[in-house]
Amino acid sequence: MSLFTRILFVLLGLFITLNWGLIMSGIIRKIIARLSMRRGIKVVQPYINLIKNFSIRSQLTHGVMFYLGPVFRLSGGVGVFLFMPMIYGSIYWTNFSFTGDLILISYFLFFGMLGMALGAGEGGHPYSAIGIGRGLAQFTAIEVPMTLAIISIAIQYNSLSITEIVAAQQGGIMNWTMVTNPFATIAAMLAFLGMMGHSPFNVVMAPQENPIGPPTEYHGTFLGVLQTNRAILHVVEAVLFMNLFFGGATNWGILILKTFLIYFYTVFVGMVFPRFRVDQSIPWFFKIPLVFGILAIVLLII
Amino acid sequence: MVNPIYIVAVLLGTAFLLGLFRKKGTGIIALVALAFPVFVSASWFFHFLSGNTEVLNFFTAGAKPPFSINLQLGIEEALFTMVINVLGFLGYTYLYRDFKEQGIKSTVLFLILIMGLNVLIMSRDIFNLFVFLEIVSIAIAGLIYLKRGADTAIAGFKYLIALGVISTFLLIGIAFFYLFSGTLNIDDFLNSNLPAVKGMSMAVFLILMAILLELKPFPANGWALDVYQAAHPGISAMISSGTATASIFLLYKLLPLSSIDWLPYISIIGAITFIGSNLLGIAQKDSNRLLGYSSVGQIGLMLIIIGMAPQLGEHFNLIFLTVFISHFLAKAGLFWISGIIKKDNIRQWSVLRKNKLLLFMFGFFLLTLLGFPPFPSFYGKWQLIMELAHGSQFIWLALILAGSFFEGMYLIRWFGFAMKEKDESEEKLTIHWEKMIPPVIFTVFVMGASYFANNSSDYGHTLNLIPIYFVIALFLLDFLPAFVKNSLVIASMIIYSILLYPDISDDTLRLVFAGIFMIGGVLTLFAGYSVKGKREGFFPFVVMMYAGLIGLIEAENLFQFFFAWEIMTLGSYFLILRGKKSIKHAFNYMLFSLGGAYLIFIGFALSYFGQDSLDLSIISATTLPGWTYTLLAIGFLTKTAAIGLHIWLPGAHAEAESDVSPMVSGILLKAGAFGLILLFLLMGAEQSEQHSLLYILGWLGAITAVGGNLLAVFQEDAKRLLAYSSVGNLGYILFALAFMTNVGWLTAITYSINHFLFKTLLFLAIGGVVMRVKTHNMYEMGGLIKKMPWSFIAVLIGIITLAGIPPLAGYGGKWLFYNAVLTKGWYFQGALIFFSGTIAFLYAFKLIYSVFLGQPKDKFRNVKEAPIWYLIPQFILMIGIMVFSARPDLILKPIGTMLSQSNYFPTDPLNWEDVTATTNLGYWSGYKIMIVIGVMFVVLLGWLMIMSRKAQKIKQFNIVYAGERPFTPGTTHFSHNMFSNYYKAIGFLSWPVATGFWNGVNLFTHNVADNIRRIYSGNGQTYIVHIMIYTIVIYLLMF
Amino acid sequence: MKLFEIEYISLIAGFILLIVGLWGIISQRNIIKMIISFSILDTSVHLLLVAVGYIRNRTAPIIDSSVNKLNAANEITDPLPQALVLTAIVIGVGITALLLTYALKLFRQNSSLEINQYKSLKW
């Protein structure tokens, strides 16, 4: 396949992902609203928001880094997409996953976070910095069960290549990591709750006392870029977990179904549990998720 | 040749005749009279040195013994009389002015003293020795009162009473010696082969015991310490260097009298004295008394060496003479300096800074005492430790190094006070020129002695001394402006690197570290161009440090390695000490370095056990692998600041000057890493018995990584944050090295290179910022991105690399880490490492946000960008990071090949397909990742630029702030205690346990020293009781 | 009885004096008394030296009318210890004199001769 064709397919995949991300977030918000006995937004509301933001005329910037922040953020999201094999068994939807493996993706997730943190930092708003501080602090704790889970599946499949990990899970639900390595799955899915930033781990954005956290100062086009990224990133992160634990996807339909369920799970938990403070959430990750993470490895090596 | 009897005649005659001259010209006459013996003994010494071996025996009154006194002059006597006469001449020069004020009586006493010391060395008649011992005592007792006062008087009284009791022992001994042997002549006795009788050994016991007591053994030496403290320092110099020399020679001369073997007891007495005295020195504040403690300690060391003479064999001369001459020259020099500045408390020695020459000599003499290379006693101590190890005297070896460590503790602390303590004295330092001459000459003598020691040492010729000469040259050129010296140093380092390259080009591992040391050195020196003026006392030590570092690379035997290690330690200590508030931190650094160096020393000695060469390879063949490897590893870990041994690092790196911090953090720490690499290579991959050591080191590395990074998170001081981050990063390196696998080592190398690149970059950038804003506290800064955009870019690139975010090189390290951890199976340690990696984000963000982003402060509205000389090396380093990120294969491929081919780690290598690295787990293509991310970033940036082309810049406080418009940047900048919630959650992990532990150790040592030294109650009678109990105890031990 | 021979008497007297002197030095608080004790100690050693050199039934090693010059070596005691004692006495005098000088200096400066009042130099 020539580079040109590959780029075309990548762009197409990106387009699908973006749209699915927007629709998914609309659906989810609708569901949340109904659960809260509200009527809720339209399913297409995310599109409307996006268009509105991109067409706002007043555009203010605090400086170069503030400007670059959203670029970093979107690069992070798109980059993770680029390095992620989306559909198993298809040469068209593997993107640029040949350049790096699972480790690349798990570290490239930070690229956007960092840029966002810096851009928001230059905004000079203390809420931004407070939000980032909380986010980073919580993230260190989330990363512990996540790392243990990744190590566990790397031992299990003796590979760090996502494609190979998905390949090993083909042939029915009994081959999924969820079944073959339940502890790693539990540890990772608990970490996933933190990664997605829904309640009980949404103190970063903390709508009440810390209005929307890091992106406080962003508006208009910049906010549009951030929303674009969020739509892409949510899908891609769900795809990562799908690939690692739930057998991957062999076509877009299965991908959409599985990512929806994975994403919905975090929302569902968020609806049930109230918010943690940072100094509560960190010890929480060091309890049950950590134990499961350790069990996942211990059971594999004994 | 002049008969040495004229020494006695001239000195005695002059002393008598001086009375006739009264005032005028007595000083000059005395000087001439004192010059005469120098000439006589020196001519004899060189006579013997040039090959004549016939010992001169001569007699008084023209008759043979027993009717006359038999004197002897061989090469030993010639040497010792020569040094004493030189001391006499210079000592008199030094006291010239004081003597002139006192009239001729003191001059007469001084002449008698020198005469007495000469005879003590030459005489072969025991009773004669007694007589001259008494003469010397009387002369000294008289001279003590040169400085008037009740303190001096009581010190003199105690001295006389104590020596009176001691000489009673001696005289009784002599009486019974004569009763049983019928002779007083040493040679007659030795030739007569008398049968051993019980009474005889008792007589000899008394004689030798008296001589030993004259040597002021701990703890029966209170009388001597009081004299050191109270007397004029010029006289203390004579006692410490002069009489001690004569007494120790006396002991050496009289030892053969005994029929039982005294040597082990001499060693034990010496060891107790060496350790006890140096331990008590730790609690001492009075400078002259401290010198007294040190003096006694050094004599203890000499006693140990004398006692060990049979084991040391042919090396005895070198060992003894180097230790002796170091003590002799340095102690006299230090007492002389003490007399010039007239300060009692060691804290007040900061007055030395008023005179550069004095300060230089002070440091010079201290280092001579401590036995740092290239000073003479370094060669002696090395040989001593090696020989002890060869003879499996391991306990002695440990004792000697323990005593040396105690000595180091107070000497280094003292030096720190001199360099850094606030100088409160208002008055000008008055220096008489004639008081400066003797210490200057002794400084030159130390250099000469170093030269000779180097030449006579077995391995001295293997050393590369060119850098040392360059250091000396730089000291002499210190008057030049800084930029000239800086250019000179940079040029020399470049030339040296070019010359060195062919030698190490086939050893990629060494090449990498040589690159870090030399390229890093040149880059960090660039920053020095921004310093105006002369920058005195900077460049010699920079060169010293880099000479040491490159010496480690070049070292082919243990001696060279240790030499380089010590040179490097010394240079870096002085560099760190230059910081404004670094007195305590430099002290800690040196203590840990010294301790670490001694552990390495013992490790080397142990590997020498049972071997004949000193080649590096003997470490792999060591017969005591457990001890050797553990000690060496701990020794190197003090340099890499593994957790528990890290407490020196943050302060030392943070308080150093702006351009020194990158040197000591980015570059110097790699010395420890290189040491570990060398050690592990020599340990060999296949030796399974090292598994537990490596396993422990692995955990230690992981814990260090977490601890270092966590501590960095809670810092408010930007440089301290970076320093703790170094602790964490060195933990990664240690962890990766402990894998002992192919990929593990590649990880360690990658981390070493990365850490060098980004930490040097960050320290330079932050150093530039600190230079402008004059504070280390991040919360006082803020919003500097607009003032210092270039520094911001540097820090940005630095933290991206640090955090391991793709596409920069840090990610390569993380990827390799995962592979290495999975291959090795150290999953939980690995998880700790990755956890610490995420902690790194916290401080990386805090660093860049608090300094460059957020709200600019009013007082920094007008700061400028960092100096261009700081920016140039930063950009070179950034280019380095970019190149290493895109093409890691350029460095990692050859090292990988070397590791797999050379039998170290042949299995599970990293495979390279073009620019993509693969293992059997995963794959990584730095080059392609770089391209993908680069293209994407540019495209998205372009898109945003089109979308928001009309964006307006707005003012600082135009932010959404709940309806309020903030106006004080100080309260709007969220920085201080940024991670308070994190501290609430896991802050307990950062409690200063190690600091508490070491403080406890320190306090304990101080308390022990402080309590033991209370045996010196100050009461003269107690001291007599000490002497008697001591004698009885030794008697009971021996019989 | 052998024990009452002159050399044993002087030997024993010497040792007794030795102990008296040492005891005096460490027990007497007054500096002058310490110096006197030191003199006793000194004398005790001289006594010992002479006792060691004594040969029974011989005369002092002075060549005068009581000694046959030709047979002197067999008629006099060992001359060496006696010469040594002379020297030792001289030295003892010197040291005692110096000690007294210091005592004088101390008394002039602090008007006290109690040794335990001079403890400023310690530790």
| Residue type at position B970 | G
Q: Is some CB atom of chain B closer than 8 A to the CB atom of A208?
A: no
CA geometry: angle at B702 spanning B701 and B707, to 5°? 95
Residue with tokens 């598994």: B691
Residue in B530, B540, B546, B556 with CA at minimum distance from that of residue B462: B556
Contact A282, A137 (CB under 8 A): yes
Distance between B816 CA and the closest CA of chain A, angstroms: 10
Beta-carbon separation of A62 and B783 below 8 A: no
**Residue A245 neighbours by CB under 8 Å, 6+ apart:** A153, A176, A177, A178, A184, A185, A188, A189
* Residues of chain B contacting residue C48, judged by C-beta atoms under 8 Å apart: 172, 175
Whether the pLDDT of residue A38 is over 60: the answer is yes
Task: Show Cβ contacts of residue B51 under 8 Å, excluding neighbours closer than 6 positions.
Answer: none
Residues A219, B960 contacting (CB under 8 angstroms):
no
Comparing alpha-carbon positions, the chain C residue that sits nearest to B289 is: C123
Chains that touch B (3 or more CB pairs under 8 A): A, C
Residue C17: CATH number of its domain: 1.10.287.3510
> Which residue among C84, C98, C122 places its CB closest to the CB of B138?
C98
Q: What is the pLDDT of residue B966?
A: 78
Whether residue C80 is contained in a domain is answered as yes
pLDDT digits (tens, 9 = 90+) for B13-50: 999 888 777 667 888 899 999 999 999 999 999 999 99
- Which one of B134, B138, B161 makes the best mutation probe of the C interface by having the most chain C beta carbons within 10 Å? B161
C36 near B CB under 8 A: no
At B689 the pLDDT is 67
C22, B1028: Cβ pair inside 8 Å?
yes
Asked whether the beta carbons of B813 and B745 are under 8 A apart, the reply is: no
What is the domain extent for residue A285? 3-301
Chains contacting C with at least 3 CB pairs below 8 Å? B
> Cα(B794)–Cα(B779) distance, rounded to whole angstroms?
20
Confidence (pLDDT) at A210: 57
Number of structural domains found in chain C: 1
Question: Looking at chain B, how many residues does it have?
Answer: 1039
User: Looking at the predicted structure, is the pLDDT value of residue A209 above 80?
Assistant: no
Residue of A144, A147, A162 lying closest to A288 (CA atoms): A144
Tell me if C118 is assigned to some domain: no
Q: What is the extent of the structural domain holding C42?
A: 2-61+73-111
How many cross-chain Cβ pairs, B to C, lie less than 8 Å apart?
125
Partners of C39 on chain B (C-beta within 8 Å) are none
Task: State the DSSP string of B29-97.
Answer: HHHHHHHHHHHHHHHHHHHHHTT--PPEEEEGGG--TTTS-EEEE-HHHHHHHHHHHHHHHHHHHHHHH
Measured in angstroms, the CA of B105 and the nearest CA of chain C are apart by: 14
SS3 B577: helix
Which of B815, B842, B853 has the CB atom closest to A65's CB atom? B853
Partner residue facing A132 (CB), from B804, B845, B982 = B845
The span from the CA of B300 to the CA of B305, in Å, is 9
Which residues touch B753 (CB under 8 Å, ≥6 apart)? Answer: B512, B516, B809, B884, B891
pLDDT digits (tens, 9 = 90+) for B946-967: 888 888 888 878 877 666 777 7
* Residue C108 CB-density burial (10 A; 0-12 exposed, 13-18 middle, 19+ buried): exposed
Question: Residue B286: beta bridge partners?
Answer: B345
Q: Are B125 and B69 in contact (CB under 8 A)?
A: yes
Q: pLDDT tens digits, residue range B316-347?
A: 999 999 999 999 999 999 999 999 999 999 99
Which amino acid would we find at residue B115?
A: M
AA identity, residue B497: S
pLDDT in tens, B151-172: 899 999 999 999 999 999 999 9
pLDDT at site B75: 92
Residues C1-42: pLDDT tens digits? 466 778 788 889 999 999 999 999 999 999 999 999 999 999
Of the residues C31, C102, C110, the best mutation for testing chain B's interface (the one with the most B CB atoms within 10 Å of its CB) is C102
pLDDT tops 90 at residue B247:
yes
* Cβ contacts from A onto B, under 8 A: 242
The mean pLDDT of B575-596, rounded to a whole number, is 93
Gap between the terminal Cα atoms of chain C: 53
d(CA B92, CA B232): 13
Average pLDDT over residues A202-214: 70
- Interchain CB distance below 8 Å, B1021 and C106: no
- Percent of chain B past pLDDT 70, that is, above it, reads 98
CA dihedral angle for residue C93, residue C98, residue C101, residue C106, rounded to 10 degrees: -130
CB contact under 8 A, B929 and A104: yes
Four-point Cα dihedral C5, C8, C10, C14, nearest 10: -170
Say whether residue B811 is in contact with chain A using an 8 A CB cutoff.
yes
In this complex, whether A and B touch, counting 3 or more CB pairs under 8 angstroms, is yes
- Enumerate the residues of chain A whose CB falls inside 8 A of the CB of residue B838: 139-140, 143
Using one digit for the tens of pLDDT, what is the confidence trace for B253-291?
999 888 778 899 999 999 999 999 999 999 999 999 999
- Mean pLDDT, to the nearest integer, of A271-295? 92
Asked, for residue C85, whether it belongs to a domain, the answer is yes
Tokens of B285: 């504040």
**Residues whose CB is less than 8 angstroms from the CB of residue B988 and which lie 6 or more positions away in sequence, other chains included:** none
Residue A145 one-letter amino acid:
P
Residue B59 φ/ψ, nearest 5 degrees: -130, 150
Q: Please check whether residue B222 is in contact with residue B67, taking contact to mean a CB–CB distance below 8 angstroms.
A: no
The rounded percent of chain B whose pLDDT value lies above 90 is 71
The Cα diameter of chain B in Å comes to 117
What is residue B591's predicted lDDT score, i.e. its pLDDT? 95
SS3 percent helix, strand, coil of chain C, rounded to 5, is 70, 5, 25
Nearest CB to B157; choose among C45, C48, C102: C102
Answer whether A289 touches B (CB < 8 Å).
Answer: no
Q: In this complex, do B142 and C98 lie within 8 Å of one another by their Cβ atoms?
A: yes
Question: Are A301 and B827 inside 8 Å of each other by CB?
Answer: yes
ipTM score assigned to the predicted complex: 0.96
Q: Encode pLDDT of C54-66 as tens digits.
A: 777 777 777 777 7
**DSSP states of A191-234:** HHHHHHT-TTS-TTT-TTTSTTSGGGG--HHHHHHHHHHHHHHH
The owner of tokens 């992106």 is A215
- Looking at residue A211, what is its pLDDT? 59
Find, among B678, B674, B444, B462, the residue nearest to B568 by Cα: B674
Nearest to B165 by CA among B143, B135, B134: B134
How sure is the predictor about B216, in pLDDT bands with cuts at 50, 70 and 90? very high
Considering only residues B635 and B150, tell me which one the structure prediction assigns the higher pLDDT.
B635
> How crowded is residue C114: how many other Cβ atoms within 10 Å of its Cβ?
11
Interface membership of A207 toward B (CB under 8 Å):
no
Mean pLDDT over B640-660 rounds to 93
Q: Does C67 touch chain B (CB under 8 A)?
A: no
What does the DSSP 8-state code read for residue B123?
Answer: B
Q: Do B165 and C22 touch (CB under 8 A)?
A: yes
DSSP secondary structure letter of residue B220: S
DSSP string, B194-219: PPP-HHHHHHHHHHHHHHHHHT--TT
Q: Residue C67 domain-assigned?
A: no
Chains C, A in contact, 3 or more Cβ pairs below 8 Å: no
**Using CB atoms, which residue from C27, C95, C103 is nearest to B164?**
C95
